[in-house]
Amino acid sequence: MSFLSIIYALFLLSVLGIYWSVEGRSLKLSVILVASLVFYSSLQIQYAPMLLVMTLVTFYVGQAIGAPMDWRIENEEWQFAQQDWNRRRLKLLWVGIILNLLLLLGFKYVPFLLDSVGEGFNLPAAEENADWIRTHVIAPLGISFFSFECIAYLVDVYRGAPATHDFLKFSAYKLFFPKLISGPITRFHPFAGQLQNLKLPTPSQITEGLWLIACGAVKKLLLADHLATAVNLIFGNLERAGSGDLWLATFAYGLQLYLDFSGYVDVARGSAILLGFDLPQNFDFPYFCTNIADFWRRWHMTLGDWLRNYLYFPLGGSRQGLQRTCFNLMVIMLIAGIWHGAAWGFVVWGGLHGLALVVHRLTDAMSKRWQWMHWWQSIPGILLAWAVTQGMVFTSWIFFRLPNLRESGLVVQRLFGHPADVQFAQKVYVETLQIDRLHLTLWLWLLVAAMAIVYTIHRGLKLQLNWFVKILLVPLCLFTAWILAPNEAPPYIYFDF
C-alpha cells in the first residue's frame, strides 16, 4: 500500500472514521495499532511479528532501566547500592542498544561486510554468501528508523525520562503507520504527551492535514518522479554520457531526492494531523543554506537531531577543544553515511560531509580570530558561501545515488571535458524525454526559482496561505498530480534506507 494511491486513501478514510467514532484513549490506541499492523502487513507481512517482538523487548528493557532504586536500604549502604543500580541501568541500556544494532546489522550490513572481507582477503566464498543473502533476504522496510527510535527511547529513559508502563501506548507510538517506514524520527515522550489531549481536529487543522498531503503528492508524483526518469536514463548510461549530461543528472538528482523525501514527510505529517498528532518537521528549505552546518540543521532534521543528541554530545560535542570537535564531526557523519546504506559510496558521502563540517568549523574559528565575519555577512560573501555549500552538497549526491564506487568514481572522472556518445543526446533527450538538454536545464532552474519564491514568501515575508485558499487548492493539486504522474511511479527513495 503506497502513500499516494487510491488504496491508501480508502484505508486512511476508514481508519479516520473508526478512530474518531470510538470513545476513550485505549480504544483509539487500539485502532492505531491495528491500522499500523495492517498498513505494514500490506507491504511486508513477514516482518510484522518481528517488529512487534522488538517493540515488546524495547518496552521491557525500558521498564527495567527506569525501575527505581530500593530506598529502604540503610544509610551506610546507600552509596554502594546506588553505584550498583547505576551499573545495572547502564548494562541494560547497552543490552537494548546492542539488540537493536544487531537487528540493523543482520538485515542491512551482513552482505556488505562479507563483500568487504571477501574482496580484502580474496575469499570468494564470503562474496558468494553475500550474494545469496542479498538475493534471498530482503531488509524490513523502515528498519533503520525503527531501530533509531528504539535506541532514542532507551537513552531518554536512562537519562531520567519516565519509562512507560502502558504497552498499548508504546506499541501505538512505535508502529504509528504515517511515520513507520521513513520517519520522521519521533521521540516517545513528545508523542505520548499529545495523547493526553486528543481532540477532533479543527477545520483549520483538517485543512492543514489535507494541504500537506496534496503538497506531498505534487512533490512526489508531479516533480520527483518525472525527474527520476531523466536521472535514471543518464546515470543508467554512464559509458555514453558526457560531462554536461552528468552534471545535469547530478543537479536533477539533488532536486529529486529532496522533493521525493520531503513529499513523503508531508504526506506522513498530513495523515498524522488528521489523527490528532503533530509529527516533527523534517525539512526547512535546506538548499538555501549558506553553510554546511546550517544545511544539517535543516536537512533531514530529525536525523540530525538524533545524531546530535545521542552521538555528538555524548562524544563531547564541541566542549573539548577544536581538534576534538573536528574529530567528533567526522565520526558522526561517517555514521550518518553508513546508516543510509551498506555500501562504500555512503561512507564516502558521509566522509565528504564530515570533511565539509570540519572545514566550516575551522573557517569559522579563523574568521572570528581574524575578524572576517563581517565579510561573510556581505552580499558577495553570502553568495559565495551559498555557492560553495550547495556545490559541495550536490556533488556529494553522486556517491549517494551511485554507492558503487566504480560507478561514482567514473562519474567524478568524467565531470570535466568528457564528450558524450554521438547518439546519446538523440536517444535520451529527443526520443525518450522528448526535450533537449538546454530546455531540461531551463526547467530545472525554473523549479529552483519556484522554490526560491516559496522560500522568500515563507521565510522572508512570513506569509502563509489562509485555510480557505488551501482547501480550494487541495483538490486541484491532487487531481493535477494524479493526471500528470508517470505511468509507473517509482517507490520512495528512502524506502531503501
Per-residue pLDDT of the chain (497 residues; tens, 9 = 90+): 888 889 999 999 999 999 999 988 999 999 999 999 999 999 999 999 999 999 999 999 999 999 887 656 656 566 667 788 888 999 999 999 999 999 888 888 888 887 777 777 777 777 677 777 777 777 888 899 999 999 999 999 999 999 999 999 999 999 999 999 998 999 999 999 998 888 899 999 999 999 999 999 999 999 999 999 999 999 998 989 999 999 999 999 999 999 999 999 999 999 999 999 999 999 999 999 999 999 999 999 999 999 999 999 999 888 888 899 999 999 999 999 999 988 899 999 999 999 999 999 998 888 777 777 676 778 888 899 999 999 999 999 999 999 999 999 999 999 998 998 888 888 888 888 888 888 999 999 999 999 999 999 888 777 788 888 899 999 999 999 999 988 888 888 888 77
The whole-angstrom separation of Cα 368 and Cα 370 is 6
The whole-angstrom separation of Cα 33 and Cα 166 is 13
pLDDT for position 195: 87
pLDDT for position 374: 74
- Considering only CA atoms, give the Rg of the chain: 24
Q: Which grid coordinates belong to 371?
A: 575578524
Q: Which grid coordinates belong to 243?
A: 560531462
Using CB atoms within 10 A of its CB, is residue 368 exposed (0-12), middle (13-18) or buried (19+)? exposed
Return the HEC string of the chain. Answer: CCCCCHHHHHHHHHHHHHHHHCCCHHHHHHHHHHHHHHHHHHHHHHHHHHHHHHHHHHHHHHHHHHCCCCCCCCHHHHHHHHHHHHHHHHHHHHHHHHHHHHHHHHHHHHHHHHHHHHHHHCCHHHHHHHHHHHHHCCCCCCHHHHHHHHHHHHHHHHCCCCCCCCHHHHHHHHCCHHHHCCCCCCCHHHHHHHHCCCCCCCHHHHHHHHHHHHHHHHHHHHHHHHHHHHHHHHHCCCCCCCHHHHHHHHHHHHHHHHHHHHHHHHHHHHHHHHCCCCCCCCCCCHHHCCCHHHHHHHCCHHHHHHHHHHHHCCCCCCCCCHHHHHHHHHHHHHHHHHHHCCCHHHHHHHHHHHHHHHHHHHHHHHHHHCCCHHHHCCHHHHHHHHHHHHHHHHHHHHHHHCCCHHHHHHHHHCCCCCCCCCCHHHHHHHHHHCCCHHHHHHHHHHHHHHHHHHHHHHHHCCCCCCHHHHHHHHHHHHHHHHHHCCCCCCCCHHHHC
* pTM for this model (two decimals): 0.93
The whole-angstrom separation of Cα 17 and Cα 34 is 14
pLDDT for position 317: 85
Using alpha carbons, select from 493, 495, 497 the residue that is nearest to residue 225.
Answer: 493
First to last CA, the chain: 18
Active-site residue list: 340
The whole-angstrom separation of Cα 260 and Cα 473 is 21
